[in-house]
Amino acid sequence: MKDRTRFITGTALPALLLALCPLSLHAQQLTPWMFNVGDGATTLPKGVLTRKGADRLPVVFDFDKMPPEKPAKDQPQWQLAPLDNKGKINYGSSSSSIIPKSNYNKFTMVDYTYFRAYLDLRSVPKDSVKTVEIVIGNVDDQARAKIYNSMHLAGTYVEGSDGKRGGKNFKIDFSEYVVVGEVNTFTIVQVDDNPGGNLLTGGITVFLNGAVLEPDPKPLPPKVEGYAEPKFNLVGNAKQVEGQPQEYSLTTDEVIKDGDKFVGGGGAVWTTSELDLSRNFTLKAEIYLGKNDTNGADGLALVIQNTSNSTMGTGEGLGYDTIAPSYAVEFDTFQNPHLNDPAADHVGARGNGSAKHEPNDFKEVVNLEDGKWHPIEFTWNAAAKTFNLTLDSEMVFEGKSFPKADGLTKGYFGFTATTGGYANQQSVRNMILVDES
């Protein structure tokens, strides 16, 4: 598999020799498979069929038109998948289709069944996972497996790997897509589009480094379903804090000069993959704005942009200025009157790389340069294109939109920070992304 960790300079780690023997089964955990029968059969739009000859068309997995690809994780219909007397998943039968018999060979209806399991690799050494594969025994009529993690927040599948009626033991190789160091989510969407058979039998088997990984019924630690600890690319003065894998220093409290000129400093951390803004999500983190209240500057910002994950803006714009298109939530600790900053520390919502405030796009807050970590929570509403923001568990913005911002359907997210003639240690830690869709 590809090593997706990064040095603090942003270059990829070199490939490492991988262990030839399977991992200890105490280092990782696969949860038992759950299943969900969904909401019943769906009739396709007029003139649309699920097949052309013996081939299924992509329409059966076109989830813009079809039911959700993965029901909500807390939906009560989820239950343990049925097993045969050998302990293998054994769902449905050759006569269990709910599609009316009158629809035989018409291919105008489709019924979905969903399967889900979690693979916990948080305690596994990053260089020890060589292969991760799933084998599906037998399906009628078709099945697609996907994986979700911090690199694939909206999920991804392996092209050409769908299980189809008439075949057996379909292998899906997720080695290139799994992320070590976090919980990966597997889903399988099983499709029935013709009356008669509706089944997934013969088991769903996960292989780790070529060895079967048996499901472990003990519960995973809390709050792991659907979350990811993002991987970051570091820019400018940004550094990962030694011994603290989830803490990043963006600037220091040293005033940087070139001769007699103040040049300031700045750093940014950006995700290595883009975030899908058509999905609801929540980002949780803690931010540190330093302890130099009298002569501290400038602040930091939470930013989403699709320029690149190596970009950096200007000083008084907290590192997001000039980056467009973009969304930015700034935590500003220094007053720049020409940017319409208030005298107090403040939180602002800005769009398209403009740091100049407009009326009602900011709120004054308590002193942020107090030497303390401040928890924040940013929740995105994809349909409304608005967000909620809490700081220190207090609501700052609710149903807020970004001014002068458009054109973003996906983007890298991260944090930027800058200093100038005044400086502060500014950092971010414990970033967790939760897919709420």
Q: What is the CATH number of the domain that holds 280?
A: 2.60.120.200
How much is the average pLDDT of 79-90? Answer: 91
Which pTM value belongs to this model? 0.54
Is 16 inside a domain boundary? no
Q: Binning pLDDT at 50, 70 and 90, where does residue 142 land?
A: confident
Whole-angstrom distance, CA of residue 154 vs CA of residue 281: 11
Is 357 inside a domain boundary? yes
Q: Binning pLDDT at 50, 70 and 90, where does residue 70 land?
A: low
pLDDT at 425: 93
- Looking up residue 186, the CATH number of its domain turns out to be 2.60.120
Does residue 148 register a pLDDT over 60? Answer: yes
Single-letter amino acid code for the residue at 102: S
Q: Whats the size of the chain, residue-wise?
A: 437
Asked if 159 and 253 sit in the same domain, the reply is no
pLDDT tens digit string along 34-50? 999 888 888 888 888 88
pLDDT at 21: 30
pLDDT at 339: 85
- Across the chain, mean pLDDT equals 82
Asked if 175 and 267 sit in the same domain, the reply is no
Does residue 232 register a pLDDT over 50? Answer: yes
Does residue 239 register a pLDDT over 50? Answer: yes
Whole-angstrom distance, CA of residue 424 vs CA of residue 420: 10
Beta-bridge mates of residue 195: none
Asked if 80 and 199 sit in the same domain, the reply is yes
Asked if 392 and 307 sit in the same domain, the reply is yes
Is 121 inside a domain boundary? yes
pLDDT at 93: 80
Residue with the bigger pLDDT between 435 and 197: it is: 197
Does residue 13 register a pLDDT over 50? Answer: no
Residue with the bigger pLDDT between 1 and 327: it is: 327
Q: Which of 213, 242, 274 is the last residue of a domain?
A: 213
Asked if 399 and 256 sit in the same domain, the reply is yes
Asked if 295 and 184 sit in the same domain, the reply is no
Domain ranges, residue 285 = 229-435
pLDDT tens digit string along 355-399? 888 877 889 999 999 999 999 999 999 999 999 999 999 999 999
Asked if 365 and 333 sit in the same domain, the reply is yes
pLDDT at 270: 93
pLDDT at 69: 54
Is 72 inside a domain boundary? yes
C-beta separation of 145 from 157 below 8 A: yes
Does residue 82 register a pLDDT over 90? Answer: yes
Alpha carbon of residue 394 to chain centroid: 25
C-beta separation of 331 from 313 below 8 A: no
How much is the average pLDDT of 67-83? Answer: 75
Percent of the chain with pLDDT over 90: 36
Does residue 225 register a pLDDT over 70? Answer: no
Is 5 inside a domain boundary? no
Number of Cβ atoms within 10 Å of the Cβ of 413: 26
Asked if 412 and 264 sit in the same domain, the reply is yes
pLDDT tens digit string along 158-202? 888 888 887 889 999 999 999 887 889 999 999 888 887 889 999
Is 385 inside a domain boundary? yes
Q: Which of 213, 247, 266 is the last residue of a domain?
A: 213
Residue among 212, 23, 31 nearest 125 (CA): 23
Asked if 175 and 251 sit in the same domain, the reply is no
Asked if 260 and 177 sit in the same domain, the reply is no
Asked if 172 and 310 sit in the same domain, the reply is no
Structural domain count of the chain: 2
Is 3 inside a domain boundary? no
Does residue 68 register a pLDDT over 60? Answer: no
Q: Binning pLDDT at 50, 70 and 90, where does residue 262 land?
A: low
Does residue 22 register a pLDDT over 50? Answer: no
Asked if 278 and 399 sit in the same domain, the reply is yes
- The one-character DSSP state at 272 is S
Is 75 inside a domain boundary? yes
How much is the average pLDDT of 136-155? Answer: 84
Does residue 16 register a pLDDT over 80? Answer: no
Q: Which of 213, 241, 260 is the last residue of a domain?
A: 213
C-beta separation of 313 from 321 below 8 A: yes
